[in-house]
Amino acid sequence: MANMKQIAELAGVSLGTVSHVLNDTARVREPLRKRVLEAVRTTGYQPSQLARGLRRDKTNILAMIIPDILNPFFPGVVRGAEDVAFSNGYRLVLCNTDNDHGKEVMHLNALRTYLPSGLIVIPSDFSDLTAQTESYRRAGSAVVCIDRLPRNWDGDSVTINNADGAASATSYLIGLGHRHLAVITGPLHLTNSQDRLKGFKRAARQAGLEVPPNYLQETTFDRAGGYAKARILLKMIPRPTAILACNDMIALGALLAIREAGLHCPEDISLIGFDGLDLTETTTPQLSSVYQSSYQLGATAAQLALDRVEKKNTPVRHIILKTELRIRDSVAAPPSNVEVVAAATPKKLRKVAS
């Protein structure tokens, strides 16, 4: 592969001029410019991104740290970021942390010396990342946190309106007549989980509804978690007539638990998830969910990062995306005789509970 020096010779100009033509960093007279471009074309020359990065102190790389691409929520985020990166001439480096703070720090450390222009992070937990990200900032990288925020975060961020989303779903259920509302939240050390729970509580409070403590179950953001906690909820007396699952994977697990308990959704119990993944359309019944655009989350973050690369000293931005309640088949009015049923079939309930 040719290098710049050879292009310069071929075009009969100096090294500097080639660079100026390629980067449009100075005015170059047309004949020279043409000769340079021609030499580039014939040789198929491409500038070394490494030398370039070394000299400019940054590369056209965007780094992205997420929990796990296998979780169906994250591919959208990644794709959104990659699209924006690609159309701006950047490449995306992808790192999975498995929500392991140690692994997160390892990635953070290892990535740094590639001098990425931007770094997009979905924090593994509520650990303070200031120390690690500060070194990126010093090196001139733009850091954006998304989806959830680490402790003390004061940089750019993109999140969604978790509280309102959860509140809207909750209010909807209440509007349907539900009074026995349960919620299965994600890990409460994550800010998004916290906010969803807040929204749930707010909506309940506004409706004058008391939520017994054991109607609130915390678990991991996956199917197994949802399954386990839903089983517990379904054994309670009175049994909740509706469950808000704080993400779709939890909802999926809950749906399975409901089916296994011999109950029907939505006749016996209503269920609303969170995220609005594609797979909510292929379940039976189709799952209602608080939709959020994972794609836009990623795309916005990438744009934010790229913006900051351009203009270092713009004020910090904190973008909050909207959610949208998508009602499908998994919700209905509560069975009219819930209390009676619970009282009338103590044996069955007791049996299941044992």
Residues that bind a second copy (CB under 8 A): 1, 46-51, 53-54, 59, 61, 68-70, 72, 74-76, 78-79, 82-83, 86, 89, 91-96, 107, 109-115, 135, 139, 252, 255-256, 279, 282-284
Q: Which is nearer to a second copy, 26 or 110 (CB)?
A: 110
Q: Which is nearer to a second copy, 80 or 150 (CB)?
A: 80
Minimum Å gap between C-beta 223 and a second copy is 8
Look up residue 17 and give its amino acid: T
Tell me if 27 contacts DNA by CB under 7 A: yes
- How many other CB atoms sit within 10 Å of the CB of residue 45? 18
Tell me if 5 contacts DNA by CB under 7 A: yes
Q: By CB under 7 A, what part of segment 36-55 binds DNA? A: 45, 47-48, 51-52, 54-55
Distance from C-alpha of 200 to C-alpha of 217, rounded to nearest angstrom: 13
Six-digit token pair at 76?
Answer: 């959208």
> What is the DSSP code string of 136-157?
HHHTT-EEEEESS--TT--SEE
In sequence order, the 6+-apart residues with CB closer than 8 A to the CB of 234 are 257, 258, 261, 263, 269, 352
Q: Which is nearer to a second copy, 51 or 340 (CB)?
A: 51
Distance from C-alpha of 158 to C-alpha of 191, rounded to nearest angstrom: 13
Q: Which stretch binds DNA (CB under 7 A): 21-29, 189-197, 246-254, 307-315?
A: 21-29
Tell me if 170 contacts DNA by CB under 7 A: no
Q: Which residue, 309, 53, 294, 293, is CA-closest to 156? A: 309
Minimum Å gap between C-beta 47 and DNA is 4
- Cα Rg, the chain, nearest whole Å: 26
Binding site for DNA (CB under 7 A): 1, 3-5, 12-20, 22-23, 25-29, 31-33, 45, 47-48, 51-52, 54-56
